[in-house]
Amino acid sequence: MLTQLLKAKIHNATVTFTDVNYHGSITIDSDLLRATGLLPNEAVIVADAENGNRFTTYVIPGEPGSGKIGVNGAAARLTQVGNRVIIMAFVYATPQEIAGHHARVVIVDKSNRAVETVDHPSNLEEAAVH
């Protein structure tokens, strides 16, 4: 049996551009990709904190240090420049993999620079119970 778990999340990123004429995807500053472990072409879910829209797309790397978060293609109609978004990727894990799995959450500032990184364990023995 496989369990779907959060792999990585970029929290509170600000959309810096949209391009409805591009053939699809979300452009993410490569520094943020490295910080989260997200990969080029990886599927992600994007949740717009301003309007509640959610959509699935795939990652393309942006210029390192640019702070770019660009929503392309049809999804560009679901957000706008200045909106805050949450970008999430998930993995399927076996019970053995769950024991050592940690989700990486990168919290960014208004310039899309990482200000905090948190690794959340996926097993109850390591996780803080609230």
Q: Does residue 64 lie within any of the structural domains?
A: yes
Q: Does residue 85 lie within any of the structural domains?
A: yes
Q: Does residue 127 lie within any of the structural domains?
A: no
Model's pTM, two decimal places? 0.94
Active site residue 25: yes
What is the C-alpha to C-alpha distance for residues 26 and 47, in angstroms, rounded to an integer? 12
Q: Which of 22, 25, 92, 111 is catalytic?
A: 25
Q: Does residue 128 lie within any of the structural domains?
A: no
What is the C-alpha to C-alpha distance for residues 38 and 125, in angstroms, rounded to an integer? 26
Total count of domains within the chain: 1
Q: Does residue 19 lie within any of the structural domains?
A: yes
Q: 49: domain range?
A: 3-121
Active site residue 58: yes
Q: Which of 30, 58, 66, 111 is catalytic?
A: 58
What is the C-alpha to C-alpha distance for residues 48 and 75, in angstroms, rounded to an integer? 11
Q: Does residue 129 lie within any of the structural domains?
A: no
CATH of residue 98's domain is: 2.40.40.20
CA–centroid distance for 4 within its chain? 16
User: Which are the contacts of 126, defined by CB distance < 8 A and separation ≥ 6?
Assistant: none
Q: Does residue 130 lie within any of the structural domains?
A: no
pLDDT one-digit tens code per residue, 86-110:
999 999 999 999 999 999 999 999 9
pLDDT confidence tier of residue 130, bands split at 50, 70 and 90: very low
